[in-house]
């Protein structure tokens, strides 16, 4: 069997197109322009690439983009102060503080300072709790993107066996919550899971969010499984003499067994940014007391 390759890049482009249409309607009918503020502390090269892409795609969707680049040694109090000003700014509908933050800054404290209604990452405990209890939440972008790809391919997820590998607050746990909300039967595997291969082999849906290059190999998979590879790992490529990106799944061997698989790059990554724009639109609509656009929320 050769897996269908799930084109996250193309899906994300369509999603951004839908967001742009809704933004145009908001502007025309209500005179509102959604605004997204992105805060980057320090000069992590990977983060700089993401922030640049976010900025460009925010503008392309017709939204306002406010970039705040602070030096690595910025005191925590100064960052909290900036978050407070963004909370109070009516032109800002979404706030994202790029993670990881430098060691002297307590990320939990910073996330807690963001107005939950502007928390387009969905990391604030209020949004975590709303998602877990089935209330209207802002849902973390990466799991939301994964869910959209799964629904597009499989239709209903009800009753399906899903295994999420990884239990981080930003990917694994919210992914499991979303699958559960769609009535999948959800297992979360992690570094203490015994016989992880046997656990993964049960799954019709595998979400790999581990951060270990090519850990999941084809022999772990149930034939025909849908595999969503969240991993973004930069590795040395001696043949090309430079670095390249690989996922948490060994693409070649997995594609020989899976029914469908997302590539890295070009899979989940572009969906994350498209969902960030979708969340910003959702936050803007809710702030204005308007219904959120259908198909752009979970």
Task: Return the range that interacts with ligand NDP (CB under 6 A); candidates 16-24, 114-122, 123-131, 190-198.
Answer: 190-198
Interface residue with ligand NDP among 12, 138, 186, 209 (CB under 6 A) is: 209
Look at residue 233 and give the partner it binds from ligand NDP, ligand GUE, none, a contact being a CB closer than 5 to 8 Å depending on partner kind.
Answer: ligand NDP
Interface residue with ligand NDP among 47, 233, 286, 287 (CB under 6 A) is: 233
Positive/negative CA dihedral, 86, 87, 93, 97: positive
Look at residue 196 and give the partner it binds from ligand GUE, ligand NDP, none, a contact being a CB closer than 5 to 8 Å depending on partner kind.
Answer: ligand NDP
54 belongs to the catalytic site: yes
121 belongs to the catalytic site: yes
Please tell me the distance from the alpha carbon of residue 180 to that of residue 130, in angstroms, as a whole number: 14
- Closest CB to ligand NDP among residues 87, 169: 169
Q: How many residues sit in the footprint of ligand GUE (CB under 6 A)?
A: 18
- Closest CB to ligand GUE among residues 107, 290: 107
Interface residue with ligand GUE among 83, 175, 264, 274 (CB under 6 A) is: 264
Task: Return the range that interacts with ligand GUE (CB under 6 A); candidates 63-71, 72-80, 216-224, 264-272.
Answer: 264-272
The closest alpha carbon to 101, from 176, 190, 170, belongs to 170
Interface residue with ligand GUE among 26, 41, 61, 96 (CB under 6 A) is: 96
| Residue ranges in contact with ligand NDP by CB under 6 A | 142, 165-168, 170-172, 189-193, 196, 209-212, 230-233, 268-269, 272
- Interface contacts to ligand GUE, rule CB under 6 A: 49-50, 53, 96-99, 121, 141, 232, 245, 264-266, 269-270, 272-273
**Feature table: binding site for NADP(+):** 166-168, 232
């Amino acid at each position: 069997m050769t897996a269908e390759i799930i084109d996250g890049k193309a899906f994300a482009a369509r999603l951004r197109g839908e967001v742009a249409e809704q933004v145009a309607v908001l502007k025309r009918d209500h005179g509102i322009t959604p605004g997204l503020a992105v805060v980057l502390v320090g000069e992590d090269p990977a983060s700089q690439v993401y922030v640049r892409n976010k900025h460009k795609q925010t503008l392309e969707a017709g939204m306002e983009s406010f970039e705040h680049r602070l030096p690595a040694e910025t005191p925590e109090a100064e960052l909290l102060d900036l978050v407070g000003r963004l909370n109070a700014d009516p032109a800002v509908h979404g706030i994202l503080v790029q993670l990881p933050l430098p060691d002297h800054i307590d990320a939990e404290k910073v996330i807690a300072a963001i107005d939950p209604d502007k928390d387009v990452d969905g990391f604030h405990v209020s949004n975590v709790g709303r998602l877990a209890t089935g209330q209207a939440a802002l849902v973390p972008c990466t799991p939301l993107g994964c869910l959209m790809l799964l629904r597009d391919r499989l239709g209903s997820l009800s009753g399906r066996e899903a295994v999420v590998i990884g239990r981080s607050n930003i990917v694994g746990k919210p992914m499991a919550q979303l699958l559960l909300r769609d009535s999948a039967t959800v297992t979360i595997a992690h570094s203490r899971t015994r016989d992880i291969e046997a656990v993964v082999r049960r799954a019709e849906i595998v979400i790999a969010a581990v951060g270990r290059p090519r850990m999941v190999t084809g022999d772990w998979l149930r034939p025909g499984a849908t595999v969503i590879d969240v991993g973004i790992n930069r590795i040395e490529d001696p043949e090309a003499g430079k670095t390249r990106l690989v996922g948490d799944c060994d693409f070649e061997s997995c594609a020989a067994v899976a029914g469908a698989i997302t590539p890295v790059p070009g899979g989940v990554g572009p969906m994350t940014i498209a969902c960030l724009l979708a969340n910003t639109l959702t936050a803007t609509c809710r702030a204005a007391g308007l219904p959120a656009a259908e198909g752009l929320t979970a």
